[in-house]
Amino acid sequence: MLPPHVPPIPRGLDNYLDFEKPPSQPESTETVSEDLLSIVETPAGERFFKRFLRDCGVTRPKFAADPQATAFNEGKRHLAMSYLNLMGRDDPQNLIDIIEQEQTHE
């Protein structure tokens, strides 16, 4: 059960948060990759994914004086890079360059 301050979960997503129940069939990496690509191909998906990459700090490493902060920042960055890898973007530099250009124009 979620704490009372958490907003209600949209219908259809509630069963994704049941971590105790194992999935009926594990999804293949190929299936997850195709799903991610189909989401990102929509205008809303593209906007979300660019924001996700920015929020994860994918455009540059985020080192801090505190090693725990650095580990946290690099963990976020690693998550974004793993999604790029799932999409078949082994060299995501082009997308990173686009995000950096957008940041300078904001």
What is the rounded distance in angstroms from the CA atom of residue 24 to the CA atom of residue 78?
28
- All residue ranges of the chain with pLDDT < 50 are none
Task: Give the pLDDT of residue 43.
Answer: 93
Task: Give the pLDDT of residue 42.
Answer: 92
What's the burial of 42, exposed, middle or buried (CB within 10 Å: 0-12/13-18/19+)?
exposed
Q: What is the pLDDT of residues 29-40, one digit of tens each?
A: 888 888 888 998
- Is pTM beyond 0.85? Reply is no
